[in-house]
Structure 1
Amino acid sequence: MTIHSTDPFAVPDEDKSPVRRLRGRLASPVTLWTAPGPSGLTVSSTLVADGDPGRVLGLIDEESDFWDAVSQAGRFAMTPLTPADRQLADRFAGLMPAPGGLFATGQWRETPYGPVPAHAGAWAGCTLDTSRPCGWALLVEGVVASVQLDAATVPLVHFRGRYAELDR
């Protein structure tokens, strides 16, 4: 067996659209979105907008089990991930096996918005507001109903198809 340092299923740069290549040059936060059910999905196209009320926006695959769960529950949790969460991110992105299910390993805190990793330094509980088609996905907008901030953590970021971490 050979372990690859790159994704053997990745589309070569020359075969990607210029827009996709531009998007790849922007660092994105790696977050975990979960919903009652439970269901979850790794999302790197996430934006948090301050305001009254605050909002969370993300690009979500409309064919995902997560979208089905959010559509039914009307609420979700969004958790920023850390460099220690790389395997968790891969598992919820469908890039790593999840024997027993996505939530079978690790410690989880049950919330009204969906399970949250017990070690999470921050998370937001959101109610589903709107969704609309946007490119390859749905642009999903949630109203921030609850914010939990514990210890400040270094974020896991996605840049040019790989995980990275910020120097402090």
Structure 2
Amino acid sequence: MNESPEPGAAIHPEHPFAAPADARDPARQLRGRLVAPVTVWTAGSGSAAAGLTVSSMLMAGGEPPTVCGLLDPDSDLAEAVGDSGQAVINVLRWPHRTIADVFAGLHPSPGGPFRTGEWSAGPVGPVLADAAAVAIVTVVEQRPMGWSSLVTATVDDIQLLDSDDDDLLAYVRGRYRTITAVRGG
């Protein structure tokens, strides 16, 4: 009897589900080249608390300052924000990569997402204890935008909890990086 080696899986550097290069969406490739902040937006309290990792957002100065974010319209967070009209924006740092993945639905968190990290009850939603910054916002408009829901909100309060910006979490080309790594420092 001729024995052959056991079949095995070879490890390749490419993502196994990635579309071939010539079939990739150019808009998605462009978005992947834009450095994005990594935040977790939260709303609600107790068992009704919801959260979502949001990187598609921007802030405009003014009186009052305004924040715009793209939320998954089918997410629990979009529903909670629609119900309450308010949210908490938690700005993440490098040690929060797992938290970002939990709230993006990419990593398990036995007992619920708020079991990963140290969270406390905030005025309108959970607040991450060691976030780089926290903003409390009031929604002024929520409308469809592409496959997302565009939430425009005014900033009611800002807490800058950390003065070291070197470990702010950024997302670019499908990976987490620190701001220092992105700017080449």
TM-score, length-normalised on structure 1? Answer: 0.91
Q: 1:126 to 1:86 in 2, by over 3 A?
A: same
The reply to whether residue 42 of structure 1 matches residue 32 of structure 2 is no
2 CA distance for matches of 1:157 and 1:52? 27
2 CA distance for matches of 1:156 and 1:12? 29
State the match for 2:78 in structure 1.
Answer: 67
State the match for 1:24 in structure 2.
Answer: 32
Question: Alpha carbon RMSD of aligned pairs, Å?
Answer: 2.0
Give the Å deviation of 1:108.
1.1
> Mean Cα displacement is larger for which, 11-20 or 73-82?
11-20
Partners of 1:13 and 1:21 within 8 A in 2: no
1 CA distance for matches of 2:13 and 2:109? 21
2 CA distance for matches of 1:164 and 1:96? 18
Q: 1:82 to 1:120 in 2, by over 3 A?
A: same
* Unpaired runs of at least 5, structure 2: 1-8
2 CA distance for matches of 1:142 and 1:9? 36
Letter in 2 for 1:142: A
1 CA distance for matches of 2:154 and 2:81? 13
Give the secondary structure class of the aligned counterpart of 1:103: helix
Give the Å deviation of 1:131.
1.3
Identity of aligned residues (%): 46
State the match for 2:140 in structure 1.
Answer: 129
Q: 1:14 to 1:110 in 2, by over 3 A?
A: farther
* Unpaired runs of at least 5, structure 1: none
2 CA distance for matches of 1:7 and 1:140? 32
Rg larger for: 2
Give the secondary structure class of the aligned counterpart of 1:139: strand
Letter in 2 for 1:159: V
Q: Out of 73, 91, 110, which is 1:99 matched to?
A: 110
State the match for 2:6 in structure 1.
Answer: none
State the match for 1:156 in structure 2.
Answer: 169
Divergent runs of 4+, >3 A: 2-15
Q: 1:50 to 1:16 in 2, by over 3 A?
A: same
Partners of 2:99 and 2:116 within 8 A in 1: no
1 CA distance for matches of 2:38 and 2:121? 21
> Mean Cα displacement is larger for which, 81-90 or 111-120?
111-120
TM-score, length-normalised on structure 2? Answer: 0.83
Give the secondary structure class of the aligned counterpart of 2:152: strand
1 CA distance for matches of 2:20 and 2:93? 27
2 CA distance for matches of 1:17 and 1:166? 26
